[in-house]
Amino acid sequence: MTRFPATAMFICLSAGAVMAQAPPQIPAPPAQFPAQAGATQAPARPPAPTRDPNSPGYVKAKELADGQLPAATENGNFIVGPTHNPGTELAPKDPLDGKVSVFTMDSKDSKLYPGIARQGPSGFGNPADPAAPRPAITVAPAPYSRKVAVYVPKGYVAGTEIPFLVAGDYREDPWLFVATDNLIAKKKIPPMVVVWLANGGSDGQGSQRGLEYDTMSGKYAEFVETEVLPLVEKQYNVKLTKNPEGRAAFGCSSGAAAAMSMAWYRTDLYHRVVSYSGTFVYQQWPPNPETPHGAWDYHATIIPNSPKKPLRIWMQVSDRDNYQNRDDYHDWVVANEHMAQVLADKGYPYQFLFTRNAGHCDAGVRSQTLPLALEYIWQGYRK
């Protein structure tokens, strides 16, 4: 599952201005993650088909005019695109009003994630023959280091309690900090800290990133709570709120599945979730009989069969999002459509965007919708 690129461009649009021509294109995300040492790359897969948001079995959604987005106060399902112009809140800003600092964490210091890497093939098998037997996944210990970037808003008084957002897949591109900084300045979201941390390396089943993000448990939330946040508080003299209403989790692809798991399994810690191209499919490794189809079980059994939780969720999927034709559990569009349906059935506050003319973790979609996503999840927040 691809991440956002490190060099995405952001275009400043003046309020009320009419574009005479199409804006420059934002670079597409890389085709796949860089390989971790010792890992074997999966075979190339055919491009994902373009899906129709009005397909049978998909949620009923309101189609908006091209370039229009729903209000941050609206719940439900929406179809947007095909044009994805960057929001004004993502215009380059140097310096930011707030302060960004970066530190490094090493696997040798982690009790929960000492580090693994896949040694053999991906286990995906041959994309040209989905019925062919899949090779076994083997792993071995592998050290790693991860960067953690911390945004502290302007005017923060050291030691006072503050809400925060945790995001995965950190890369050295400040788009998330820029949007947060501008939205705080416009008083559209509360002043908050952003903790943006890199994954432990590689991607997919048998990788450290996959272990962290695709495992159906509260372990990743525990890692953040016990190994990351204490360092943030100590190094930057911030007091992160313990109130789950003031805590949000954010991610794309498997990082979005991780964000959902942080809130689902540790609802005592997180109540707000942002999901771009969520990997609500079967990526979990090692297997767990309690969740036999990994994150696919969220919409198949877990959410439908569980009491409603105090969660607020913003979700997005693209018409050309991932599709891996090897079983019935690897269609990202269907998975997100099903998530929207079960959230609606259970009465959750959620907003779901189906984005036309876009791919997995699409940079153009993110640059258009990130301000909306952040505004939506912080609706109703009170200290």
Beta bridge partners of 150: 101, 195
Give the pLDDT confidence score for residue 383 in this predicted structure.
81
Residues of the chain where predicted confidence (pLDDT) is lower than 70: 1-45, 120-134
Centre a 10 Å sphere on the Cβ of residue 317 and count the other Cβ atoms it contains: 31
Q: What burial class does residue 142 get, using C-beta atoms within 10 Å of its C-beta: 0-12 exposed, 13-18 middle, 19+ buried? A: buried
**Pairing mode, if any, of strands 99-106 and 145-152?**
antiparallel
Q: CA-based Rg of the chain, rounded to a whole angstrom?
A: 20
- State the residue range of the domain holding 350: 62-110+146-377
Quickly list H helices, 288-379.
296-297, 332-346, 363-377
Q: Is 137 part of any domain?
A: no
Residue 121 is predicted with a pLDDT of 62
Asked whether residue 94 is domain-assigned, the answer is yes
What pLDDT, on the 0 to 100 scale, is given for residue 25? 33
Cα 279 to Cα 322: distance, rounded to the nearest angstrom: 9
The answer to whether the beta carbons of residues 198 and 148 sit under 8 Å apart is yes
Q: What is the DSSP letter of 245?
A: G
DSSP conformational letter for 1? -
Q: Is residue 293 part of a domain?
A: yes
pLDDT of residue 17: 30
Q: In total, how many domains does the chain have?
A: 1
Cα 343 to chain centroid, rounded: 18
336 found inside a domain: yes
Residue 53 lies in a domain: no
Report whether 377 contacts 272 (CB < 8 A).
yes
pLDDT at 34: 35
| Burial class of 76 by CB neighbour count within 10 A (0 to 12, 13 to 18, 19+) | middle
Q: Is position 206 within any domain?
A: yes
Q: What is the pLDDT of residue 135?
A: 73
Q: What are the E-state strand segments in 206-302?
A: 239-240, 247-252, 272-276
pLDDT given at position 136: 82
For residue 86, being part of any structural domain is answered with yes
Angle in degrees, CA 155, 156, 161, rounded to 5: 150
- How many angstroms separate the CA atoms of 206 and 140, rounded? 9
Question: 227 is written with which tokens?
Answer: 């190994």
The CATH number linked to 359 is 3.40.50.1820
- Kindly state whether residue 15 falls inside one of the protein's structural domains: no
Residue bearing tokens 């050290």: 143
pLDDT tens digits, 224-256:
999 999 999 999 999 999 999 999 999 999 999
